[in-house]
Structure 1
């Protein structure tokens, strides 16, 4: 597996652990439907939350939230619609983005953008 894929999977695991530590309940990871993949699906305070995780080893090329374009959002929404139907979910939902950043010292930091789009 390519190094960037390894970094992405590690970032997803770190983000999941971070959210679980904040009281979120992890329901699913890497949910696929068609050409779309939802990195994390969690439940928190009665909401079903679909999370896109982006890893950056710096901000020289921009912040994580800038890399979720209209096409990606459309794919995520389509996959989420399928998940909602599959699980017969009837409550509110939310789409979040989590940026996982590694600074020069190797320390991991998170930026959580709740209700990032829809």
Structure 2
């Protein structure tokens, strides 16, 4: 596996661990519909909201902040996948779209930022 793929997998695990430590229930990971995917799908600790989480991991944020990589195209793809997930699973809960950014390459030097309600994919169309 290429180094950037390993970093991404580590970052997604780190983010999932963070969410669980904060009371979220992980429902799915790497959920796919065609070439579109959602990194983490979780339920809030109060059980009322389904959260679609995009995880961006970088070794450094010197050149570009990780959340800058969540552009209009990515937001549309997440929205499309989330819509399919909701229909497939019969979800009636509230929905939210978060971004978790991780800067670092291991548990000792990682800096995690959780951006709650980061975007609304309905506004991207």
TM-score between both structures, scaled by the size of structure 2: 0.89
Q: Does residue 28 of the first structure (1) align with residue 61 of the second (2)? A: no
**Equivalent position to 1:89, from 83, 88, 91:** 91
Quote the offset at 1:11 in angstroms.
0.3
Report the Cα distance in structure 2 between the residues aligned to 1:40 and 1:90, rounded to whole angstroms.
18
Report the Cα distance in structure 2 between the residues aligned to 1:64 and 1:112, rounded to whole angstroms.
12
TM-score between both structures, scaled by the size of structure 1: 0.94
Q: Which runs of 5+ in 1 are unaligned?
A: none
Q: Which runs of 5+ in 2 are unaligned?
A: 121-125
Alignment match, 1:55: 57
Quote the offset at 1:60 in angstroms.
1.1
Q: Secondary structure at the match of 1:59?
A: coil
Quote the offset at 1:56 in angstroms.
1.1
**What is the 5 A alignment of 1:1-118?**
1-44=1-44, 45=46, 46-102=48-104, 106-118=108-120
Residues 53-109 of structure 1: per-residue CA shift (max 9 Å, x gap): 000111112211111000000000000000000110112100000001118xx5111
What's the C-alpha RMSD, in Å, of the aligned pairs?
1.1
Report the Cα distance in structure 2 between the residues aligned to 1:98 and 1:61, rounded to whole angstroms.
18
Report the Cα distance in structure 1 between the residues aligned to 2:70 and 2:36, rounded to whole angstroms.
13
The runs of 4+ residues in structure 1 deviating greater than 4 Å are none
